[in-house]
Amino acid sequence: MAEIQNTLEHNKRLDGLFAVVGLLATFVGMLTLSALLVDLMIDGAERLSIGFFTNFPSRFPERAGILSAWVGSSLVMLVTACSAVPVGVAAGVYLEEYARRNWLTTLIEINIANLAGVPSIVYGLMALGLFVYQFNLGQSVLSAGLTLALLILPIVIVATREAIRAVPATMREAALALGASKWQTTRDHVLPYSTGGILTGVIIALSRAIGETAPLITIGALTFIAFLPDSPLQSDFPFVSWDWLMSPFTVMPIQMFNWISRPQAEFHLNAAAAGLILMAMTLAMNAIAIYFRYRFRKKLKW
């Protein structure tokens, strides 16, 4: 009897011990993120002003801003999203709904999984050879967007498949039993019911891409740009211009890298401020992803 009592006491102590260890482990991640944010804020907060967003980089740290960097990042992300989303979603739908289960499909699946693990600089090297030289796209917004699109393609495909798999088989059966074709079933049911999951995956992938530096340096992103690409919208006919696609560019992390590698301490403050904004962009994107997931999950009930 006493023995059992002892064992029970021991079990209880172990339980308490793990609760403490688990709590500490959780705090490691939390504390790191907050320490990082606080550190960036202490350094960069004083540089945050309207001017910081509307100024081009400059030789004078107090006049330097991130205008070309945030515009560049936005345009590159636009190209990335427009190319990675349709291709990735189509591939995910094909693999999940259409592909026969055979060795070829398995091989493709293994390849996609491995592709997600390829170091990003390798994508940069490939893009330098393919987009910049072979296709003659130059060191442009287009090359950069396509490079990052390739980088996040595996993430988009995997996210799409996961989202599609969460749609119950009974929905497909219901549609097929009414005489819907496979495409109608996919278009009317599978895709609409998995939109939340797909969007979440896409946004998480884009927030990965927005912080990427190495592949863009490899394809020749400039570190000092004092002009903006042509505006996509024009006041004259035909009102839309594609010139921005071929324009040289810089992006947020490269701008930071440029400032941090300068000797003057004032530039380091600029880098911290830019870092703060980049983090805010990433966290905002993740927040949007969580919101989408919540909204779509709430709407769907089966």
Partner 1 sequence: MDSVPHTALRRRIAPEPARDAMADITANVAEKPLIEIENVSFYYGAAQALKGINFSIPEKKATALIGPSGCGKTTLLRCLNRMNDLILNTRLEGKITLHGRDIYAPSTDVINLRRRVGMIFQKWNPFPKSIYENVIYGLRIIGVKKRAALDEVVEKNLRRAALWDEVKDNLHKGATELSGGQQQRLCIARALAVEPQVILMDEPCSALDPISTAKIEELIHELKDTFTIVIVTHNMQQAARVSDYTAFFYLGELIEFGETAKLFTAPEQRQTEDYITGRFG
- Chain positions contacting partner 1, by CB under 8 A: 101, 168, 170-181, 184, 188-189, 193, 299-302
Residue 148 C-beta: closest distance to partner 1, Å: 34
CB atoms within 10 A of CB 17: 10
Residue 299 C-beta: closest distance to partner 1, Å: 7
Residue 182 C-beta: closest distance to partner 1, Å: 10
d(C-alpha 302, C-alpha 294), whole Å: 16
Nearer to partner 1, 177 or 240 (CB): 177
Residue 289 C-beta: closest distance to partner 1, Å: 21
- CB burial string 28-38: b at 16+ within 10 A, e below: eeeeeeeeeee
Nearer to partner 1, 59 or 298 (CB): 298
Nearer to partner 1, 59 or 101 (CB): 101
Instruction: Please tell me what DSSP assigns to residue 135.
Output: S
Q: Which pairs count as long-range contacts for 84-90, CB under 8 Å and 24+ apart, including other chains? A: 84/148, 84/149, 84/150, 84/152, 84/153, 84/156, 84/202, 84/205, 85/156, 85/202, 87/149, 87/153, 87/156, 88/152, 88/153, 88/155, 88/156, 88/157, 88/159, 88/160, 88/202, 89/156, 89/160, 89/198
Residue 301 C-beta: closest distance to partner 1, Å: 4
Nearer to partner 1, 59 or 301 (CB): 301
Nearer to partner 1, 63 or 182 (CB): 182
Nearer to partner 1, 188 or 266 (CB): 188
Residue 110 C-beta: closest distance to partner 1, Å: 20
Outline where 128-263 has alpha helix (H): 141-165, 169-177, 182-185, 191-210, 214-218, 252-260
